[in-house]
Amino acid sequence: MKQNQKIFAGVFYYDDIDADLTLLQGQVNTTTRGWNAIYAVSIGNEWVQDGKYSASTVSDAVSNAKTTLQKMGYTGDVVTVDTVGAVTGNKDLFSN
């Protein structure tokens, strides 16, 4: 990976968020660039659109992940990814 490139990391399994964030931290800590190589961290992928979780559950997951990542030293964006319809119909998805 070139110095001007960054990674958009993703966590896709709700039940494994904390374990996956710990795994991500371990991977980041093995690089020379550390958290500077991470552009953003996404929690979930179309969970609301797919009906897997409510918007408030996803919002809480993003908020909790952000807190966890900050404790690990990450200060970048923590987001979720969903469809336009899911986002416009569920303001909780962008309240953080």
pLDDT in tens, 37-94: 999 999 999 888 898 999 899 999 999 999 999 999 999 999 998 888 887 877 777 7
pLDDT, tens digit (0-9, with 9 covering 90-100), for 13-22 = 999 999 999 9
Quickly list H helices, 1-96: 17-29, 55-71, 84-88
Burial code (b: 16+ CB inside 10 Å, e: under 16) for 12-41 equals eeeeebeebbeebbeebeeeeeebebbeeb
pLDDT, tens digit (0-9, with 9 covering 90-100), for 26-39 = 999 999 999 999 99
Which residues, 6 or more positions from 25, have their beta carbon under 8 angstroms from its beta carbon? Answer: 72
Instruction: Give the model's pLDDT for residue 24.
Output: 97
* Tokens at 27, concatenated: 């991977």
Instruction: Give the model's pLDDT for residue 89.
Output: 79
